[in-house]
Amino acid sequence: MDSSQFESVKTKTASLPDRVADQIAQLIIDQHLTSEDKLPNEFELASQLNVGRGTVREAVKLLVARNVLVIRRGKGTYIANNPGEMEDPLGFAFVPDQIQLAFDLMEVRLQVEPWVAKLAAQRRTSEELERVQAYRVLVEQEIEAGRDHLPLDMEFHLSIAKCTHNQAVPKLMPLILHSVSLFGSLTRRSLRSYTIKEHRLIAEAIADGDGARSETVMREHIEHNQQKLEAIRRQMEVSQEEKPK
Amino acid sequence: MDSSQFESVKTKTASLPDRVADQIAQLIIDQHLTSEDKLPNEFELASQLNVGRGTVREAVKLLVARNVLVIRRGKGTYIANNPGEMEDPLGFAFVPDQIQLAFDLMEVRLQVEPWVAKLAAQRRTSEELERVQAYRVLVEQEIEAGRDHLPLDMEFHLSIAKCTHNQAVPKLMPLILHSVSLFGSLTRRSLRSYTIKEHRLIAEAIADGDGARSETVMREHIEHNQQKLEAIRRQMEVSQEEKPK
Q: Is the pLDDT of residue A5 over 70?
A: no
Among A10, A89, A111, whose Cβ lies nearest the Cβ of B86?
A: A89
Boundaries of domain holding A193: 92-242
Distance CA B86, CA B49 (A): 26
Among A9, A91, A171, whose Cβ lies nearest the Cβ of B87?
A: A9
Q: Which chain A positions have a beta carbon within 8 Å of B32's beta carbon?
A: 96
Provide the number of CB pairs (under 8 Å) joining chain A to chain B.
142
Q: Which chain A positions have a beta carbon within 8 Å of B172's beta carbon?
A: 90, 108, 172, 175-176
Statement to judge: residues B14 and B130 lie in one domain: no
Q: A164 versus A5: which is more confidently predicted?
A: A164
Distance CA A7, CA A14 (A): 12
Q: Output Rg (C-alpha) for chain B, integer angstroms.
A: 22
- Is the predicted ipTM greater than 0.95, yes or no? no
Statement to judge: residues A114 and A217 lie in one domain: yes
Statement to judge: residues B116 and B232 lie in one domain: yes
Let me know if residue A85 belongs to a domain.
no
Residue A11's pLDDT is what? Answer: 42
Give A9 to chain B, closest Cα distance, Å.
6
Supply the mean pLDDT for chain A.
84
Q: A65 versus B244: which is more confidently predicted?
A: A65
Q: Is A1 helix (H, G, I), strand (E, B) or coil?
A: coil
Residue B132's pLDDT is what? Answer: 97
Let me know if residue B203 belongs to a domain.
yes
Q: What CA–CA distances, in Å, run from A63 to A25, A77, A80, A135, B206?
A: 8, 11, 10, 32, 42
In order along chain B (245 residues), what is the average pLDDT of each group of 10 residues? Answer: 37 73 86 85 89 91 86 86 77 81 93 97 97 96 87 92 96 82 61 85 97 97 89 79 62
Q: Which chain A positions have a beta carbon within 8 Å of B85's beta carbon?
A: 89-91
Interface of A with B in 168-187 (CB under 8 A): 168-169, 171-172, 175-176, 181-182
Among A83, A86, A97, whose Cβ lies nearest the Cβ of B86?
A: A86
Closest chain A residue to B1 measured between Cα atoms? A182
Task: Tell which phi-psi region holds residue A39, choosing left (phi > 0), alpha (psi between -120 and 50) or beta.
Answer: beta
B82/A91 touch (CB, cutoff 8 Å), yes or no: yes
Strand partners, A78: A38, A70
Q: Is the pLDDT of residue A2 over 90?
A: no
Q: What is the DSSP string of A146-181?
A: TS--HHHHHHHHHHHHHTT--THHHHHHHHHTHHHH
Residue B179's pLDDT is what? Answer: 65
Among A101, A107, A172, whose Cβ lies nearest the Cβ of B108?
A: A172
Interface of A with B in 41-60 (CB under 8 A): none
Q: What CA–CA distances, in Å, run from B58 to A14, A43, A61, B65, B85?
A: 18, 23, 10, 11, 20
Task: Give the torsion sign (CA, A13, A16, A22, A26).
Answer: positive
Statement to judge: residues A41 and A104 lie in one domain: no
Statement to judge: residues B101 and B32 lie in one domain: no
Is the minimum CB–CB distance between A1 and chain B shorter than 8 Å? yes
Closest chain A residue to B88 measured between Cα atoms? A9
A89/B90 touch (CB, cutoff 8 Å), yes or no: yes
Residue B209's pLDDT is what? Answer: 96
Let me know if residue B87 belongs to a domain.
no
Statement to judge: residues B203 and B130 lie in one domain: yes
Distance CA B28, CA B16 (A): 18
Give B212 to chain A, closest Cα distance, Å.
15
Statement to judge: residues A66 and A187 lie in one domain: no
Phi, psi of A118 (to 5 degrees): -60, -50
Q: Could you tell me how many residues make up chain B?
A: 245
Best probe of the A interface among B6, B86, B235, by most A CBs < 10 A, is B86
Residue A212's pLDDT is what? Answer: 97
Total domain count for chain A?
Answer: 2
Using the 8-state DSSP alphabet, how is residue B208 labeled?
T
Predicted confidence band of residue A13 (pLDDT cuts 50, 70, 90):
low
Residue B3's pLDDT is what? Answer: 36
Distance CA B153, CA A211 (A): 34
Which residues does A195 contact at the CB level (< 8 Å), separation at least 6?
A: A139, A143, A149, A153
C-beta separation of A156 from A141 below 8 A: no
Is the minimum CB–CB distance between A89 and chain B shorter than 8 Å? yes
C-beta separation of A185 from B7 below 8 A: no
Let me know if residue B170 belongs to a domain.
yes
C-beta separation of A24 from A83 below 8 A: no
Let me know if residue B84 belongs to a domain.
no
Statement to judge: residues A123 and A177 lie in one domain: yes
Q: Which residues of B32-49 are buried (b: 16+ CB within 10 A; e: fewer)?
A: ebeeeeebbebeebbeeb
Task: List, in sequence order, the alpha helices (H) in chain A.
Answer: 16-30, 42-49, 53-65, 98-123, 126-144, 150-162, 168-176, 178-207, 211-242
Is the minimum CB–CB distance between B8 and chain A shorter than 8 Å? yes
Residue A187's pLDDT is what? Answer: 59
Predicted confidence band of residue A7 (pLDDT cuts 50, 70, 90):
very low
Task: Tell me the mean pLDDT in the region A79-96.
Answer: 79
Let me know if residue A236 belongs to a domain.
yes
Statement to judge: residues B19 and B50 lie in one domain: yes
Residue A6's pLDDT is what? Answer: 39
Strand partners, A77: A71
Choose the weakest-confidence range: A126-140, A195-209, B168-182: B168-182
Q: What CA–CA distances, in Å, run from A88 to A58, A99, A164, B1, B168?
A: 23, 16, 23, 16, 13
Give A50 to chain B, closest Cα distance, Å.
23
Closest chain A residue to B7 measured between Cα atoms? A93
Q: Which of B51, B79, B107 is the last residue of a domain?
A: B79
User: What's the CATH number where A146 sits?
Assistant: 1.20.120.530
Centre a 10 Å sphere on the Cβ of residue B115 and count the other Cβ atoms it contains.
Answer: 22
Residue B239's pLDDT is what? Answer: 75
Statement to judge: residues B148 and B169 lie in one domain: yes
Task: Tell me the mean pLDDT in the region A141-167.
Answer: 91
Q: Which chain A positions have a beta carbon within 8 Å of B115's beta carbon?
A: 111
Using the 8-state DSSP alphabet, how is residue A96 labeled?
S
Residue B184's pLDDT is what? Answer: 62
A11/B87 touch (CB, cutoff 8 Å), yes or no: yes
How far from chain centre, in Å, is Cα B204? 24
Q: Is the pLDDT of residue A188 over 60?
A: no
Let me know if residue B28 belongs to a domain.
yes
Q: Which chain A positions have a beta carbon within 8 Å of B97's beta carbon?
A: 167
Let me know if residue A84 belongs to a domain.
no
Is the minimum CB–CB distance between B87 and chain A shorter than 8 Å? yes
Q: Which of B36, B53, B79 is the last residue of a domain?
A: B79
User: What's the CATH number where A68 sits?
Assistant: 1.10.10.10
Residue A213's pLDDT is what? Answer: 97
Statement to judge: residues B102 and B203 lie in one domain: yes
Statement to judge: residues A170 and A145 lie in one domain: yes
A104/B166 touch (CB, cutoff 8 Å), yes or no: yes
Is the minimum CB–CB distance between A108 and chain B shorter than 8 Å? yes
Q: Which of B79, B106, B125 is the last residue of a domain?
A: B79
Q: B45 versus A240: which is more confidently predicted?
A: B45
Residue B6's pLDDT is what? Answer: 39
